[in-house]
Amino acid sequence: MRYALALLVGLAGLAALAGCSTAGPVTDPVRGATALLPGYAYPAGDTVRVATYNLEHFVDAFDSPYIGARRESEATVLEVDARNRLAVDALRALDADVVALQEVEGEGLVRALVDSLAPDLGYRFVASADDADWYMNVVVLSRLPLGPLTTFADAATPIPGFQDDDGRPEATDLANHRLLAVDVYARPGYTFTLVAAHLKAGRSARDEAWRTGQAGLLHAWLGQRFGDPDAANVVFAGDLNAIPGTPSFDALLNADRALGPVRFQDPLAGTSAFSHPADDPVRRLDHVLVSDGAAPEAVPGSAAVVSPIEDARRLSDHLPVVLEVVARDR
């Protein structure tokens, strides 16, 4: 539960210690053993705004001895300060309840940023699975309580159709730390699983196959967790580095259920909403997808690529994507 929630013994303890309503059915046994942090109150209304934003090599001014990357090592205080303020301006304009960030140095940086420059935004909950020796990580910022975190960091995935130098089928665990899932307790009685990701970049056939392998890993886990696809209330947000219509994007959607029982829908399918590059977007690499089970809660017309600050390229080469869902008792 990391820093977000206190673990309790049972549902009776929940009611007594949380001092809040548990209206709606509790279908998740873990949810029944959690409580709100002292002083926390859910936002008014039932709409939850989810966003994804790649912040492009977003680092602090400290040289980590464990990270051997020039961009991490040589950032100056002035550069970092300027980008921090742009990032806060962008977060303020996005006004999302849950944000999946990519290419950030780590959870500590994100926590320090919002605590020092934007405490009024209410991002009390943070989740990540930072890599020990690399600086491009995925971090989830949330105004809403978060539950258990699943990281795929230590899983090796195949790169279908490719062989290593010794002629063996190629497989890798690189970049899988940038794939994680965390439960979002959006309202009493309504929880969804957020999958946040920054999948392998690149346009080559090998890159496509790499992403397809990552899609297989995700769908295998989703199938194990949600045997009933209608019970899979999942929002999938991230820089997926996959353009609609490509093999890797089709694998992520899993429309034919070849990889498992859970399918995703693209709320921006068929549109010309592009997210990259930020100053002249011609492709959409960034996505907020919904599972079939989550689709009824997606607000029609709410999905969009947005430019949160003037001249967004000063902050990132990507534009964020947003989607709103309605929290309903399940």
pLDDT tens for 23-51 read 333 346 677 788 899 999 999 999 999 99
Domains annotated on the chain, with CATH: 6-326 (3.60.10.10)
Task: Give the whole-angstrom CA distance, residue 327 versus residue 330.
Answer: 9
- Is the pLDDT confidence value at 169 over 50? yes
pLDDT band at 19 (very low <50, low <70, confident <90, very high): very low
The letter for the amino acid at 268 is L
Task: Give the whole-angstrom CA distance, residue 57 versus residue 36.
Answer: 34
The letter for the amino acid at 58 is F
Contact by Cβ (8 Å): 221, 181: yes
- Residue 181 φ then ψ, to 5°: -140, 140
Mean pLDDT of the chain: 91
Distance of CA 263 to the CA centre of its chain: 17
Contact by Cβ (8 Å): 247, 255: no
Residue 33: what pLDDT? 85
CA 138, 143, 146 angle in degrees (round to 5)? 65
Sign of CA dihedral 203, 208, 210, 214: positive
- Specify the range with the lowest mean pLDDT, choosing from 14-23, 30-39, 141-150: 14-23
Residue 31: what pLDDT? 75
Mean pLDDT of 238-245: 98
Instruction: Render the burial of 282-310: b for 16+ CB within 10 Å, e for the rest.
Output: eebbbbbbbbbbbeebbeeebbbbbbbbe
Contact by Cβ (8 Å): 76, 109: no
The letter for the amino acid at 45 is G
